[in-house]
Structure 1
Amino acid sequence: MSLFDDDRTQKKTVHDIGSDLSLLSVDELSARIDLLKAEIARLESEKAQKGASRSAAESLFR
């Protein structure tokens, strides 16, 4: 194990809603947009799964 292990030195991109964007570069803004698009896709997938579960439960009790 190296002192400069890649897993420890890589900075994880985090975005706080409403944070100041003026100091970010175009590449950093693009990275945040990609991060947020992935998060939206994850949320939509979870919503769809929960909707399907709810529909199945409602049809069972009709």
Structure 2
Amino acid sequence: MSFEELEPRPGRGEALAGLGREDLDLYAVEELHERIVALEAEIARSRAAIEGKASKRSAADALFNFR
């Protein structure tokens, strides 16, 4: 067993909270642009996950709707 396996896993949302606390004054303008691109990609990934979950929910609702 490695030391990494012994460390507790970060909780949900901790990475996002850490981003909000990060000091942006340390970044150059180009680095801030790269950060925005990465965050926009994460937003798109989150939206795709929402759409996937919504379609699964709709399919389940249609399957179990006994009206």
Could you state the TM-score of these two structures normalised by the residue count of structure 1?
A: 0.72
Tell me the C-alpha RMSD between the 2 structures.
1.3
Correspondence 1:46 to 2:53: no
Distance 2:21 2:39 in 1: 13
Amino acid at match of 2:22: S
Which structure would you say has the larger RCO, counting Cα contacts within 8 Å and 6 or more residues apart? Answer: 1
- In structure 2, runs of 5+ residues without a counterpart are 1-17
Runs of 4 or more, structure 1, over 3 Å off, are: none
Q: 2:35 aligns with which of 18, 24, 32?
A: 32
- In structure 1, runs of 5+ residues without a counterpart are 1-14
Could you state the TM-score of these two structures normalised by the residue count of structure 2?
A: 0.67
Structure with a larger share of its residues in helix? 2
